[in-house]
Amino acid sequence: MAIPKNRLAVSTDVLDAVDWGLLALLRSNARLTNAALAASVGIAASTCLERVRSLVSRGVIRRFTVDIDPAALGLGVQALISVNIHSGARSQITPFAARIRELPEVMQFFFVGGNEDFLVHVAVRDTDGLRSFVLDNLSADPVVASTRTSIIFDHVAPSL
């Protein structure tokens, strides 16, 4: 089994080849049983369980999740929306971010450095839904200085 390159901000001496193997397997299928994980990396099931628990307790694995296809839920349009906050509204960043994160259309939310303050990944039914999301939740907010919307044509999560 090929061990993936170190793409996390964790020192390579903290993670060994077995840890990297476990991460690669869990990234591709977080539902693998402990027995299957152990067999794939060539360690005992009890050792594997302790290794995964250690990765979780050290914060390397933050959570186990499921990847849901928005189109299968009738959400056929995804977009990345760049948001800039008015310079005089910096004290409102935390409440604004908390409110936007909780909206059901929001798939991912990033507070970034650079030309934008935030990037918001949304999934909506159609372009009318996207327009409504931007107008109702962003443009109408007095904290927001500007937005820029980019429609996502295809999204594939990279392997570790």
Q: How far apart are CA 132 and CA 118, in angstroms?
A: 19
84 has pLDDT over 80: yes
DSSP string, 25-59: HHHH-TT--HHHHHHHHT--HHHHHHHHHHHHHTT
Q: How confident is the model at residue 55 (pLDDT cuts 50, 70, 90)?
A: very high
Dihedral sign, Cα of residue 121, residue 79, residue 29, residue 19: negative
Where are the extended beta strands (E) located within 38-160? 77-85, 106-111, 118-124, 144-152
Q: How far apart are CA 6 and CA 27, in angstroms?
A: 14
Q: Structural domains in the chain?
A: 17-57 (1.10.10.10), 70-152 (3.30.70.920)
Token pair for 2 = 């090929």
Mean pLDDT is lowest, of 40-49, 85-94, 149-158, for: 149-158
Q: How confident is the model at residue 137 (pLDDT cuts 50, 70, 90)?
A: very high
Token pair for 38 = 């152990």
* Percent of the chain surpassing pLDDT 90: 78
13 has pLDDT over 70: no
Mean pLDDT across the chain, nearest whole number? 90
Q: How confident is the model at residue 160 (pLDDT cuts 50, 70, 90)?
A: low
- For position 4, what pLDDT does the model report? 44
The secondary structure of the chain in percent helix, strand, coil, rounded to multiples of 5, reads 40, 20, 40
Q: How many Cα atoms are found within 13 Å in the side-chain-facing hemisphere of 132?
A: 10
